[in-house]
């Protein structure tokens, strides 16, 4: 139904799941309806002007949980698509979906105990929070560009551990059957990993920018901003409190990249952008500081620390993808030599070079970088006549001494050139590569392929050609828990369905409402949402006697401050509509 989905890279498909629409209970739909009715009423004066119209454009109804298939029909008209996923997915995968104009939607829905705010991504947050604002073309382009750049951000080895710990915590908190002991243990694990991170990686910083804009962003004037962040748009609690004075408002800037966040708590401060165009300016400012655009020794070191598949691009355009393990530098911090230690692929313009994939470079790849000693002209800048003059051609036994001390000695077999004739790779047999007394390659290891390039222009996460590695992006080991309902819960859900069906018929039965109300009082004295739905229908009937009885019962249901507000807000909405 949406052609964008057919263009998704295969490695992203491992994160997608099928939305089991029939698994949603009538209580789930009631939770959706309650949140959406309150939000659309409350946010019409608090949210960015794109919000309400965006709900319509992206196929999101107030009355029922959206179908991903139906959303895709609407999203296709604005150049986007959506896929269902299992809860949190790794940040770089999330961003790569964005780069392809695809929203990821966690299809579970918050339970009634987390109706104001959920620590886990759910369909209210993903669909009703993220989707509406992308109907704004400028914001949609920011989101796509953010995904494109964020996908290239280099992670640290600790980032994935933190992701898995946060994912587990969110899953446990959203499962009503989880014990407090399990939750406390998971919270302790998250804190321990966070405290152990000394330096924020590129991915951690760009994840922060994403959080303070896409998730929790405010827009407009500092003293009177509007909401556009999905986390705020989907939280009936925080969308109200976030605009109050106790939440500090800070002008949005690149400094937001250093501000960490806690997903399990309301945010103590928020960043305000003057407009959507400014978001893109800050994004470009951050991108200019990334290894993606800086390259060099720092970029290589980031890849080595990440212990994940990454790529560098040399000044010739040759790209090397693998897990980088070593770099040799000179006293001026210039890269002299780099090395990977596992399957490696070579590419040019993001397309793997023929015969230079992971099946050939199975054990790694290493190469010098820079100019030859005593020769001002770099190999990459030599014309065929220059190469012949310096004795660098097929069948010639050569000794190449690079600035900094790397020495390559062997017989040239062949070379690979780009369409402009620039040489990218030189292959040797009987080759020895040394750095002082250190042997970097020796003849009995086979053919030596030397990358050609005088500088490392770029370093980024992932392979240059995404087809070079299968499922190179990790996926969380903990799956979202399937909630097993008790017989009593199933009976309660049937009562919700009875009220839902009666409302949808358009002919309200007072006898049916009374019967369900009596059953709730007898068997489910803690349930308040279904009683609220009954009150809504009795209010419509103008049956003052029964309506007052239900309202009085609701008032007695206020067992906590939060529940009291939920009931009061629901009653006020019914009385004013």
d(CA 308, CA 302): 10
How far the first Cα of the chain sits from its last, in Å, is 37
Q: What is the per-residue pLDDT across 298-342, written as a single tens digit (0 to 9) for each?
A: 999 999 999 999 999 999 999 999 999 999 999 999 999 999 999
d(CA 528, CA 249): 35
What's the token pair of residue 325?
Answer: 């393990």
What's the token pair of residue 158?
Answer: 């600790």
Q: What is the CA radius of gyration of the chain?
A: 29
Residue 86's pLDDT is 87
Sequence-distant (6+) residues with CB within 8 A of 226 are: 46, 47, 48, 49, 218, 219, 220
Q: What is the per-residue pLDDT across 15-62, written as a single tens digit (0 to 9) for each?
A: 999 999 999 999 999 999 999 999 989 898 999 999 999 998 998 999
Residue 490's pLDDT is 96
- Whether residue 144 contacts residue 130, with contact meaning beta carbons closer than 8 Å, is answered with no
d(CA 215, CA 233): 9
Q: What's the half-sphere exposure (Cβ side, CA atoms, 13 Å) at 58?
A: 28
Which class is domain 3-156+199-285?
Answer: mainly alpha
Q: What is the per-residue pLDDT across 438-495, written as a single tens digit (0 to 9) for each?
A: 999 999 999 999 999 999 999 999 999 999 998 766 676 677 777 888 999 999 999 9
Neighbours of 93 (CB within 10 A): 20
What's the token pair of residue 113?
Answer: 């105990």
What's the token pair of residue 58?
Answer: 């992206």
Q: What is the per-residue pLDDT across 58-104, written as a single tens digit (0 to 9) for each?
A: 989 999 999 999 999 999 999 999 999 988 888 889 999 999 999 99
Domain ranges of the chain: 3-156+199-285, 307-468, 487-576
**Mean of the pLDDT values across residues 357-361?**
97
pLDDT interval class at 500 (50, 70, 90): very high
Using the 8-state DSSP alphabet, how is residue 215 labeled? I
d(CA 301, CA 305): 6
Q: What is the pTM of this model?
A: 0.89
Instruction: Specify the pairing of strand 269-273 against strand 248-251.
Output: parallel
Q: Give alpha helix (H) positions in 478-509.
A: 487-505
What's the token pair of residue 394?
Answer: 């097929």
What totals of helices (H) and strands (E) does the chain contain, helices first? 21, 20
Residue 542's pLDDT is 67
Q: What is the per-residue pLDDT across 386-426, written as a single tens digit (0 to 9) for each?
A: 999 999 999 999 999 999 999 999 999 999 999 888 899 99
What's the token pair of residue 495?
Answer: 């009562």
Q: What is the per-residue pLDDT across 100-155, written as a single tens digit (0 to 9) for each?
A: 999 999 999 988 988 987 777 899 999 999 999 999 999 999 999 999 999 999 99
The more confident residue out of 262 and 207 is 207
d(CA 551, CA 427): 83
What's the token pair of residue 146?
Answer: 């953010």
């Amino acid at each position: 139904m949406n052609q964008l989905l057919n263009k998704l890279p295969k490695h992203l498909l491992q994160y997608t799941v099928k939305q089991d629409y029939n698994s949603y209970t009538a209580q789930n739909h009631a939770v959706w309806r309650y949140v959406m009715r309150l939000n659309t009423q409350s946010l019409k004066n608090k949210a960015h002007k794109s919000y309400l119209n965006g709900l319509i454009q992206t196929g999101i109804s107030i009355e029922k949980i959206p179908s991903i298939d139906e959303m895709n029909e609407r999203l296709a008209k604005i150049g986007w698509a959506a896929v269902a996923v299992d809860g949190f997915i790794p940040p770089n995968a999330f961003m790569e979906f964005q780069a392809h104009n695809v929203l990821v939607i966690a299809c579970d829905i918050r339970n009634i105990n987390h109706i104001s705010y959920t620590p886990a991504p759910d369909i209210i947050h993903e669909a009703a929070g993220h989707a509406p604002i992308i109907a704004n073309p400028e914001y949609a382009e920011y989101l796509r560009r953010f995904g494109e750049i964020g996908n290239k951000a280099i992670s640290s080895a600790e980032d994935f551990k933190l992701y898995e710990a946060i994912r587990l915590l969110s899953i446990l908190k959203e499962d009503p059957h989880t014990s407090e002991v399990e939750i406390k243990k998971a919270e302790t694990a998250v804190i321990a990993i966070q405290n152990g991170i000394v330096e924020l990686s590129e991915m951690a910083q760009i994840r922060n920018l994403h959080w303070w804009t896409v998730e929790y962003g405010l827009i407009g004037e500092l003293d009177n901003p509007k909401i556009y962040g999905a986390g705020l748009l989907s939280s009936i609690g925080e969308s109200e409190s976030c605009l109050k004075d106790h939440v500090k408002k800070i002008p949005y800037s690149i400094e937001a990249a250093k501000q960490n966040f806690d997903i399990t708590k309301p945010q103590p401060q928020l960043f305000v952008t003057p407009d959507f165009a400014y978001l893109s300016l800050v994004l470009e400012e951050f991108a200019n500081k990334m290894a993606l655009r800086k390259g060099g020794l720092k970029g290589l070191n980031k890849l080595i620390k990440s212990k994940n598949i990454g790529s560098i691009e040399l000044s010739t355009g040759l790209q090397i993808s693998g897990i980088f393990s070593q770099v040799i530098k000179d006293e001026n911090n210039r890269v002299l030599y780099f090395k990977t230690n596992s399957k490696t692929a070579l590419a040019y313009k993001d397309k793997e070079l023929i015969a230079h994939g992971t099946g050939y470079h199975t054990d790694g790849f290493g190469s010098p970088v820079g100019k030859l000693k005593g020769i001002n002209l770099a190999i990459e800048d030599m014309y065929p006549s220059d190469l012949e003059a310096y004795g660098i051609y097929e069948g010639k036994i050569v000794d190449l001494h690079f600035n900094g001390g790397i020495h390559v000695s062997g017989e040239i077999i062949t070379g690979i050139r780009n369409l402009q004739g620039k040489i990218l790779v030189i292959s040797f047999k009987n080759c020895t590569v040394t750095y002082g007394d250190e042997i970097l390659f020796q003849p009995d290891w086979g053919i030596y392929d030397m990358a050609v390039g005088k500088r490392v222009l770029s370093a980024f996460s992932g392979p240059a050609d995404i087809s070079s590695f299968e499922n190179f992006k990790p996926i969380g080991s903990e799956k979202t828990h399937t909630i097993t309902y008790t017989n009593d819960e199933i009976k309660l859900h049937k009562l919700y369905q009875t009220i839902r069906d009666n409302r949808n018929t358009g002919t309200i039965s007072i006898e049916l409402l009374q019967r369900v109300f009596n059953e709730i009082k007898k068997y489910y004295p803690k349930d308040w949402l279904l009683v609220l739905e009954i009150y809504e229908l009795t209010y419509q009937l103008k049956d003052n006697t029964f309506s007052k009885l239900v309202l009085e019962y609701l008032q007695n249901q206020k067992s906590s401050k939060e529940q009291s507000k939920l009931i009061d807000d629901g009653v006020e909405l019914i009385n004013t509509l």
